Amino acid sequence: MILWLIGLSGSGKTTLGSEMARQLRARHPNTVLLDGDTLRQVFSFDQGSDPYTVEGRRINAERIASLCEMLDRQGIHVICCILSIFDDMRRANRARFSRYFEIFMDAPLEALRRRDVKGLYAAADSGQTPNVVGVHIRFEPPSHPDMVIDSSGDAPDIPSLAAQALARAGLGAST
């Protein structure tokens, strides 16, 4: 199964995905966590600004989806944390993978700017960092996610949210 966590940078995708992976691995050791930022480093695709253009982001997104497809064919559960700005690719995921569950980490840009853990939005606003999704590149929220989590607040109960998400995806404690 592919669990696809999407949302703007700083919305909590990696935090929630990491906890989901921890919980799911306790029952299914064949679980992999994929994070968009980490995969850019693995693929050495984070050099310069071109990889962060819309075209560069599409190449990276296709690489990630292809990796998920390969793992899915081998019966490996994948928790993928990615911006996922391409609606056509999200729609295609439903047919591409054996089982697909989409979680939208919903937080308004203003909340993410206040939080700005990585300093990304401040750098974008000052002109230091180009091609930031939500600032320079439009982010279109998913039209039909399987689950929406309001991540605009502070300090959610991540273990509880992870358990809820896994249960909704059909991978709860009894599976």
Q: In the annotation, is 152 catalytic? A: no
Active-site choice (9, 11, 84, 151): 84
Phi, psi angle pair for 153, to nearest 5°: -90, -175
**Can you give the C-alpha Rg of the chain in angstroms?**
16
Tokens linked to 55: 């075209």
d(Cα 87, Cα 141) in Å, to the nearest integer? 8
Q: Which amino acid is at 157?
A: D
Residues 155-159: contacts with CB under 8 Å, at least 24 apart: 156/12, 158/15, 158/16, 158/19, 159/19, 159/23
Strand partners, 3: 79, 101
Q: Taking Cα atoms as reference points, which of 152, 32, 13, 175 lies closest to residue 84? A: 13
Kindly list the catalytic residues.
84
